[in-house]
Each structure stands twice: as C-alpha cells, then as structure tokens.
Amino acid sequence: MEPIVQISLDLTTIKEALAMAEIAVEAGVDWIEAGTPLLLGEGLHAVAAIRQAFPDHPIVADLKTMDGGYLEAEMMAKAGATHVVVMGVAHPATIRAVVKAARDYGIQVMGDIMASPDPVACATMLEENGVDFIIVHTGFDERGEDKERTPYDHLAAVVEAVKVPVQAVGGLTIDQAADMPKNGAPLVVIGAPLVIDKQEFKPSQDREQLKGILQQFVSRVKANRMEG
C-alpha cells in the first residue's frame, strides 16, 4: 500500500473542522477524519458537511463503536463516510455487525486495538472478522498517566501478525509519524488542532504557515516506503 496521509479533525464545531480540512486538502492530505470530539459535538451533520465540501475525498468517521454496530455504521455511510472505526475490545458480534453494514453500503472498517490486553490477538481477531485496516492506538488518557507508552510498544508485532494495512496513532511526534510507512504503517495520521514545539497553529491565525507545515509533512510521508 502506498503511503496515505489522513488529517484527524479533533475539533468540536463544523466551522472549525471545515477551515482546517480546507487547508489540509490544499496541502495534499488524502483522507479526512471526522474525529471523535467532532462527532460528539456535531454528530453525523459533521460528516455530511465534510462530504458536501469535499465530494471526492475519503472520510473516516471515528465512532469508536462498542455496540449497535450496524446502525452506527449505516448512519455514517448514509451521511457520506467511507470508513468507520470499531473498537477491538467490543464484542465480536458488534465487529461483525459493523463489517456487514460496511459491505452493504460499500464502505470500509478500521479496527482500533486501543485498551486491548493482548494487542496482537486483538488485531488478528479483527482481521479474521473482516475489518479492512488495523489501528494501533495508544490512548490520550493512557499516555497522560504513563508518558512512556507509545504505539511502538505493539506496532512491529501487529504488523507482523496481520495482512491488512496498519495505522499507528497516539502521542507520536511529527518525525515519528512521517516515518510510519517505513515501520509498516502506511496510513499516517496528523492531528488537528496541530501543536508543534508547544506552538498551536490555527487556521484563523496561521493559515499559510499551517499549510506549509502540512505540505512538508505530506511530502515526507510520500517519500517513505516500508523497508524490506
């Protein structure tokens, strides 16, 4: 799989999200993610607004589904999402329900292994139940309590264990994220709002600077390939 760059819109309003997405798309970002905070703040209306503004871009709805899998995936697909996220710690029946909805509506499923006691077993179970991508995710709160935790803790083992593409998320630096394709995780995420060296970049204040940062990041990711 060729490297892909995904912008994670972890904002809380449609207005903010669209402003960030516009800059990201101009900078060459491939996929747009309606982050969990955005879905909590605006619901499926956020997905619909992103789809209207960017009719040709893949849209990831980071639902973190734990139950009611078919309905949640169906709603987001109808709103314009091309990818939905289900948690690996959900019941396997929920994972299968999300996958069924995805097949029915022509979208894809990303399985997030965050909080799994056995990340490799979780990843292989997700793959066996039909997910299209695996997310190796170290959670925000987990990192808050243990700053040593990163996706690197499990990344190599998961990449070795599954055949579907892998994404690594959670506490990575810009440099680490850009290098992810060389580590077997070609679907690379950069978060928004974007903070680099403790400086926060916002579309309303730093549009051209933010666009330049994202362009450089996209170029670095695209130049990388999985080693071996």
Is 49 a domain residue? yes
Number of domains the chain contains: 1
Is 164 a domain residue? yes
Q: What is the pLDDT of residue 202?
A: 79
Spatial contact of 222 and 180, defined as CB atoms under 8 Å apart: no
What CATH number has the domain bearing residue 108?
3.20.20.70
Q: What is the pLDDT of residue 228?
A: 44
Is 228 a domain residue? no
Alpha helices (runs of H) in 1-91, residue ranges in sequence order = 14-26, 36-42, 44-53, 69-79
Which domain covers residue 38, as residue numbers?
4-223
What is the spatial distance between Cα 147 and Cα 187, in angstroms, rounded to a whole number? 24
Residue 191's DSSP bridge partners are 8
Q: What is the pLDDT of residue 115?
A: 97
What is the spatial distance between Cα 123 and Cα 103, in angstroms, rounded to a whole number? 20
Is 143 a domain residue? yes
Q: Show Cβ contacts of residue 216 under 8 Å, excluding neighbours closer than 6 positions.
A: none
Going residue by residue through the chain (228 aa), what tens digit of pLDDT does each one get?
Answer: 999 999 999 999 999 999 999 999 999 999 999 999 999 999 999 999 999 999 999 999 999 999 999 999 999 999 999 999 999 999 999 999 999 999 999 999 999 999 999 999 999 999 999 999 999 999 999 999 999 999 999 999 999 999 999 999 998 999 999 999 999 999 999 998 887 777 777 787 789 999 999 999 999 999 987 554
What is the spatial distance between Cα 150 and Cα 108, in angstroms, rounded to a whole number? 26
pTM for this prediction: 0.96
Is 77 a domain residue? yes
